[in-house]
Structure 1
């Protein structure tokens, strides 16, 4: 219990006030809390009144921080809750902040999920399974996830995955056709596409039938392997070269011809 002897505006934070009790600094409050509790010089504060003031100020600080957090972009309820934990807002104050945010329409998981899914579908190369995982991580309910991913139809997924497959075929052009296929499958799976979509995409995205390009890919891998195994004796060298290139998806006949070509050029 004590009596307020001075109230002063903080220098750096213009919406907070320092409260002095019995001539000594006691605490600071948000301007809205100052007004709500009609704090003034000469006012006597009981322990119960102080507890109520501290609680409401914690809510106000949490609310201010949450609104700023939400002003950057839309957030899910879980993201805001996690943010308040990091800001060390008490559980009781956080619950009141969340209720207020919903009441003021700052929070709406249904709207957030729809906006997030639409953005990811239309501006990224992510598939529905990856988007679903991300929404789950953000605390979105399964029923909402199912609803917002419904427009992500098979044909739309296929168009996106075919473009990705063609793009990555170029990236992996120095690999054998077998390794190309494996890497594209793995990439599309990581992106969140189902195996049905992946298999259809690979069927529509045809590998290069250019024999010269395939020979170039093989020779590229031969030269890489040669740099690694050239220090070995002839017999061991050929064995390691064949094993390495076979693991890369090339046939034994092609490997034999490539090794002969390498020997002729060296």
Structure 2
């Protein structure tokens, strides 16, 4: 027990188990309720009925109890799933714990291996790779948002090999291509390039070309050009001659068809 002047001493007159939680105890000093503590604090300070305490010791008890509450809150939060250190800290801040209580909680969690950003990053990356089609850049960004450092992030991403990235990218681009109907290769390529960026992948020309050829062959592009031409022909039916032709050409070019292909198609239509 800490030293103190005789007239500062108070005495614990009662210790009782809390009704709703057998792991917590109410401490009474000089017959008045002083504070509640959990069993870890009770044991660590050796609290017992008849024990004399000082104001300084009471302050230590209060601080220690607050730290224990922060630790317990963190353990509950970690019970749902593995978290990064930043996630735990932000949760404790949201619960309005003071900085010293948060520091004490994080020290306890680190020492007892309840938080480990390196292990968290590896687990997170494996989960994303095995259950989603998110690209490496997206996974990297999400790890950084969770407070994971550069070294841990790069080490975790080693699991996402080039071979796996190519396999996933092909699936992503194939899925995107299936949503595009009767479009030119240029238009589809623009769509796929946007998909590569938004999904967090690096551009891969070989995979891009393979998907383009799979979904819009030269013959299919001719069919798409014909279909779009017929739509524009109806749309601009009120116009005549050169003005009508100009509007159709402009519309087809906006759809991504090459000017040369459009002119050849129109020439064939006129011959027909």
Give TM-score, length-normalised by structure 1: 0.77
Q: Indicate which of 113, 133, 147 corresponds to 1:139.
A: 147
Where does residue 201 of structure 1 map in the other structure? 207
Kindly state the Cα deviation for residue 214 of structure 1 after the two structures are TM-superposed: 6.5
Kindly state the Cα deviation for residue 20 of structure 1 after the two structures are TM-superposed: 4.3
| Cα 1:162–1:212 shift into 2, 3 Å | closer
- Structure 2 residue runs of 5 or longer lacking an equivalent are 1-7
- Structure 1 residue runs of 5 or longer lacking an equivalent are 262-266
SS in structure 2 opposite 1:178? helix
Within a 5 Å distance, the mapping from 1:108-127 to structure 2 comes to 108-127=116-135
Kindly state the Cα deviation for residue 57 of structure 1 after the two structures are TM-superposed: 0.9
Is it true that 1:29 corresponds to 2:23 in the alignment? Answer: no
Within a 5 Å distance, the mapping from 1:140-179 to structure 2 comes to 140-179=148-187
Contact conserved, 2:228 with 2:252, CA < 8 A, in 1? no
Take 1:241 and 1:24, find their aligned partners in 2: how far apart are those partners?
91
Q: Indicate which of 76, 94, 109 corresponds to 1:68.
A: 76
Q: How many residue pairs were aligned?
A: 254
Where does residue 254 of structure 2 map in the other structure? 247
Q: Indicate which of 22, 38, 55 corresponds to 2:63.
A: 55
Structure label with greater radius of gyration = 2
Give TM-score, length-normalised by structure 2: 0.75
Take 1:172 and 1:105, find their aligned partners in 2: how far apart are those partners?
49
Within a 5 Å distance, the mapping from 1:255-266 to structure 2 comes to none
- Measured against aligned partners, the alpha-carbon deviations of 1:121-153 in whole angstroms (never above 9, x if no partner) come to 222101111111111111112112222212423
Take 2:115 and 2:80, find their aligned partners in 1: how far apart are those partners?
13
